[in-house]
Structure 1
Amino acid sequence: MNPPCGRCNKAVYPTEKINCLDKYWHKGCFSCEICKMALSMTNYRGFDKKPYCSMHYPKTSFTIVTDTPENLRLKQQSQLNSQALYKEDFEKNKGKGFSLVVDTPEMQRLKKTQDQISNIKYHEEFEKSKIRSDAPPPENRQEDEQQPSALVSLPAGPLHSATAAPPSGGKQYKALYSYTASEADEVSLQEGDLIADIEPIDEGWMFGRNLRTGQRGMLPANYVRPV
């Protein structure tokens, strides 16, 4: 049985049959929907299973979607689905492409050490600028150089330090800057304090005993220097 033509619905015989756009056409019926220009398999353009010439091929246009309550609900649901997929992918890939930094006590101590290093650099620059500002003018400096320096004679005898030496007789350290303890296991310092019984812990921290207060605990290593 011969199939019907896609335009005239009459039977299409094999000698005049064109199979295109999921239909069968007479050669004379295979033409543009608008201008009726005869088409071939090389110059037609299909839209909605209908043949068109290049001039009258329907142009696709965008439609404006209004923000109705239903559309807003669908948009919100789509955003929630996207967030759920992102979190799922994040949990799957966690630890593969990057490392998650946990705010552990060790990380907090390293951060504190970096802040202390920055403070020390600031104090050093401040002291250098203070020395430069306190220096006498060149003419006064020449006069000071010409004057003989006065020698101060000290009485002979044993020297006594303001703070007694540590019982262990170990090496002493002197605090360069003041430091206020922020943890229960740390020691507060004042500039000039002597520290004894030093035990290094890791880079940036050590154990010691403040001879002024008698308190023992952790202190920043870059705040003190050996005496």
Structure 2
Amino acid sequence: MSKKCAKCEKTVYPTEELKCLDKFWHKACFKCEVCNMTLNMKNYKGYNKIPYCNVHYPTTSFTAVADTPENQRIKQNTKVQSNVQYHSEFEKQKGAYTQVADTPDMLRHQQNTKNISLIEYHRNFEESKSQFTCVTDTPVMKTQLTNTKNVSLIEYHKDFEKSKSKYTQVADSPEIQKYLQNTKNISLIQYQKDFTDSKGSCYQVPDTVEMLTHRRNTENVSRIKYHADFEKMKGKKLTVVDDPETMRIKQNTAIQSQVEYHKVKDQLNEMEIRRPDREARDMEGPGVQEVEDVPTRRVGSISDYDPMNNQFGSISRYSGGDPEPPRGYQAPPPQSYQPPPQQSYQPPPPQPAMPPPSEGMVCKALYDYTSADVDEVSFQEDDLIIQCQPIDEGWMEGTVKRTGQRGMLPSNYVEPVN
């Protein structure tokens, strides 16, 4: 049996078939009943199995009628039963009641009522316990819970600030002071006891995989850093400025060396000056009487001089029977000796002070930082970090000008100055 279109009542073929509202339509015949606008399955609205557009869709209208006496009575009863009306009447008649003491029968009745209420509540709770379904909190519910919590905290702090000055501090009574002192003593005794019990006990735990990995990485980074710095400074010479203490030590050493040199030189010159007189006495012969206990020495080279005993190696003779010079010895003729001119000591000219080393890249500390490893440095806020060298993203190397320590530091804790 062929399908008929509900609009034009002609045969509907499968290529142009549209089934909607329990009827068959041509796609071109599926139009609004009022304005003939072509509709589709997304924008149509059906009413009594007839398609309409959103504008001409028929709406249901209500007719206002007068309230019957029955409706007015129900409305009045509802209003009386409402909480607002109840509280209003209660406030109006608040002072019209006379309060009397509860009789034993009234107290027993109240207690029974309370017990019955609790029993009824728990019975209703147990009956309705399995009727609730737990569902996941929606984002709106989570937001509401968070807001409620924040409001609660704000309200708590506001109430606390209001009532902060309403408390009155009073002196501790003797009983309170004794109790505090006893509590303190007990705490100290317990601490000492626990400390003594655990004094010789050590708790060794095996290193975790993370700790072993961290140690190995730290060791590798330290070796790589050391070799990198070593390769950088391999062919460089570091010249430092001599401080006043070092310059003073150098000056004193030079002066002592010059004084020692001139002391020995003056002693040798004095020996050479006395040498011609001894030669003349040796050539005068045996008729000359020498002063007793004054030794006369034979002419010898300066190498025969013993500086330790201030004596020559070869002694000629003494008055009183010393051996005579060997036969065939002829003294050389006297020679006039003139000592070499002595040079006055002149201190070396002062060396020009070397210019201070360059501070390189200078950064200023924004926060305090405490080192977490041996190759890091600690610094305080507003410290200057000189000779900064970026290592990688997030780390750099520098010297703290206040302490002189050099090491690695986080680059986000400082800002460059120059």
Higher percent of residues as strand: 1
- Same fold (TM > 0.5): no
TM-score (norm 2): 0.17
Q: Relative contact order (alpha carbons < 8 A, sep ≥ 6): 1 or 2 greater? A: 1
TM-score (norm 1): 0.29
